[in-house]
A and B are shown apart, each in its own frame.
Chain A
Amino acid sequence: MTVKKIISIALLVVGVVALAFVPTVVESDSIINLLILIFIYTMLASSWNILGGYTGQINLGHAAFFGLGTLATRLLYTQGFPLFPSLLAGGVVAVAFAMFIGIPAFRLRLRGDYFTIGTLALAQILYVTVGNVLPKITYLPIEDIQNYQLDFRYYIILALALFTIGVAYVLVKSRPGLGMMAVKEDEDAAESLGVNAFRHKLLALAFSAFLGGLAGGAYAYYQTSYYFNYTFTPLWSLDPVTMAFVGGQGTIIGPVIGAVFFVVLKEWLVLNVGEYHLIVFGTLFILVVLFLPGGLVEVWEKIREALSRRPKLKESSTPSE
């Protein structure tokens, strides 16, 4: 068991170091851009996963948190605020909004499905409202565009992605994290064992919103220009759900695998089948929900199980013979 742990930690370190050296080795900007996209999507999927995967509250309006993050970070940053306070503000604004809706929704013990469609509606409200209030395109400041340093942005966003995964890991390994999982499994049973479902759901929502807002902040810092309401479009709500499910919701590594798979496959599909790529995605998503609820992580587990079972079977079959 400990050997396994050492191996996985070693793999993690090697992976991070490799990622850190990519900009010094790789010349092509498109690969760096692809990796940045993977980092942002990893943040998006991991943050969704805390509430959706670990706590069982399916949020179909994650775009609200992501969008608010981009909005706050972008507005502050383009006004001349330093980067880190701007990013932090993105997360905080998302949490404030999440509490505003989460407290009444969870206190009333809104049934899970009502919470889900409620989030869908909320994201849509923000999408329309932001489009009305800020109908224009937003640009990074001119000086920023003139000395746009992709590598620097790469490191910042890599760090944010690692931070997100780290926070998610620490959270789910902690006592509140176990409570969240208990709420997912069976809310009533969890309550009867003294787990306060309301508090745990709210906590998960707060973390999910903060990290979702941070992902938005990363996007706002990375993208030179976009329409203000673009980051509120339903796509930003659906993509994290797809990634988390395809990778394996309710696991730490699942959303990461999902994000890599999603971004790379999307890129490949866009190049090869062009406009049909969303049809492929829809189909893939349905297949995963129906036949592979554990996602790619489950496939990996099954393969490993199948590989390790054989020798074990032989061992156990000897005494009985």
Chain B
Amino acid sequence: MLAALAQGLVFGILVGALYGLAAVGLSLVFGVTKFLNVAHGELLMFGGYASFWLFTLLDVDPFASIPLCILFLLLIGLLLYKVLFSRMVKLPTEDKIRNTLLVGFGVGLILQNVALRLWTADDRGITPDYAGVAFTVLGVRFPIVRVASLVIAFVFLFALQLFLRRTYTGKAIRATVEDWEAATLMGINVHRVYLLAFVMGAALAGVAGTLVAVGYSVEPAMGMHWTLKGLIVMVMGGVGSITGTLVGGLILGVAESATAILISGNYRQVVGLVIFILVLLVRPQGLLGTKEG
């Protein structure tokens, strides 16, 4: 039992890092633009399928395909922003959230069915030669693919943090989050900041999707689950907080595996949703969030 718990904890942390990465894109977009892009899970799915195709058709290693997936998702993000989301930039916040949410649903529905046509409803995974390799520490197994994914997720989160804190553009983004009107007065082109945040969010979804495809599997109906996980983690971590999002992701991952071990694997998904509702009701600003964020 103890060994099973330890193993569950490790698997929970490994998948939790991906939840964090999936959520941080959603959170970045929502924090900056107030777009609630519920097609985020579908973008993640497309990232997964992109690397799946690169691997099966062109024999590109999944980890090496990450830059290509980023590029692909940047393009999709750009397209979505230019064609659809840019039309909602000027709405008042409440309407903006609602309309982007509804448009996001439509986009999700379309992408899901495009994926169904292109890749069938089967679960698709990427299995390079080293897929089964794992090392064991104190009786707990660490599959190297998932460990590598965890490391990559951390690297991207750290890089994002650094970008937002240290670079000029990152500061412009943060200024826009705080007060877009004041940011405009300071000469920041808010439209470009919005566009940048949106495509960065899509790109982060692409990275997460690649890691999901290599460590787990992808299928056309997964988008909704990942959007929900992203929302859960975003709300738990507090919008706009990268550290909070990472912690939220890890908590969700561990809570899920604990439920799978202690109660039943069938309720894996439910525990996250219950936590989500509780956080919404009790601490809507997020576990680590500040009162008004």
* Interface residue ranges, A against B (CB under 8 Å): 58, 60, 101, 104-105, 108, 110-114, 116-118, 120-122, 124-125, 128-129, 131-132, 234, 238, 241, 245, 275-276, 278-279, 281-283, 285-286, 289-290
Q: Could you jot down 12 A-B contacts, CB within 8 Å?
A: A108-B281, A112-B98, A121-B231, A122-B277, A124-B269, A234-B224, A238-B109, A278-B109, A281-B109, A282-B110, A285-B109, A286-B107
- Report yes or no: A241 in contact with B116, Cβ–Cβ below 8 A: no
What is the bound-complex CA distance between A289 and B99, given in angstroms?
7
Q: Which of B103, B114, B276 contacts A289 (CB 8 A)?
A: B103
Knowing A108-B281, A114-B280 touch, does A128 contact B102 (C-beta < 8 A)? no
- Report yes or no: A245 in contact with B273, Cβ–Cβ below 8 A: no
What is the bound-complex CA distance between A285 and B116, given in angstroms?
19
What is the bound-complex CA distance between A58 and B88, given in angstroms?
18
What is the bound-complex CA distance between A245 and B264, given in angstroms?
39
New A-B pairs, 20, CB < 8 Å, besides A111-B284, A113-B101, A282-B108 = A60-B105, A116-B101, A117-B235, A118-B276, A118-B277, A121-B228, A121-B231, A121-B273, A121-B276, A122-B277, A124-B269, A125-B277, A128-B266, A128-B269, A132-B266, A132-B267, A234-B224, A278-B113, A281-B109, A290-B84
B140 an interface residue at 8 Å Cβ cutoff? Answer: no
Q: Please report whether the interface of chain A is mostly helix, strand, loop or mixed according to DSSP.
A: helix
Residues in A with CB closer than 8 Å to B274 are 125
A124 to chain B: closest residue by CB: B273
Residues in B with CB closer than 8 Å to A241 are 102, 105
Q: Which of A105, A124, A281 contacts B281 (CB 8 A)?
A: A105
- Report yes or no: A285 in contact with B102, Cβ–Cβ below 8 A: yes
Over the window 104-134 of chain B, the binary record of Cβ atoms lying under 8 Å from chain A Cβ atoms (1 yes, 0 no) is 0111111011101100000000000000000
Residues in A with CB closer than 8 Å to B231 are 117, 120-121
Residues in A with CB closer than 8 Å to B88 are 290
Q: Interface size (B, Cβ < 8 Å)?
A: 39
Knowing A114-B284, A290-B84 touch, does A275 contact B113 (C-beta < 8 A)? yes
What is the bound-complex CA distance between A58 and B102, given in angstroms?
10
Knowing A132-B264, A132-B266 touch, does A290 contact B113 (C-beta < 8 A)? no
What is the bound-complex CA distance between A113 and B269, given in angstroms?
22
A293 to chain B: closest residue by CB: B99
Q: How far is the CB of A188 from chain B (nearest CB, A)?
A: 11
* Interface residue ranges, B against A (CB under 8 Å): 36, 84, 87-88, 94, 97-99, 101-103, 105-110, 112-114, 116-117, 224, 228, 231-232, 235, 264, 266-267, 269-270, 273-274, 276-277, 280-281, 284
A120 to chain B: closest residue by CB: B228
Q: How far is the CB of A80 from chain B (nearest CB, A)?
A: 30
Residues in A with CB closer than 8 Å to B264 are 132
Residues in B with CB closer than 8 Å to A289 are 99, 102-103, 106
Which of A110, A116, A245 has the most chain B CB atoms closer than 10 A to its own CB? A116
- Report yes or no: A276 in contact with B117, Cβ–Cβ below 8 A: yes
Q: How far is the CB of B231 from chain A (nearest CB, A)?
A: 5
Q: How far is the CB of A292 from chain B (nearest CB, A)?
A: 12
Residues in A with CB closer than 8 Å to B94 are 112-113
Knowing A117-B231, A289-B106 touch, does A110 contact B113 (C-beta < 8 A)? no
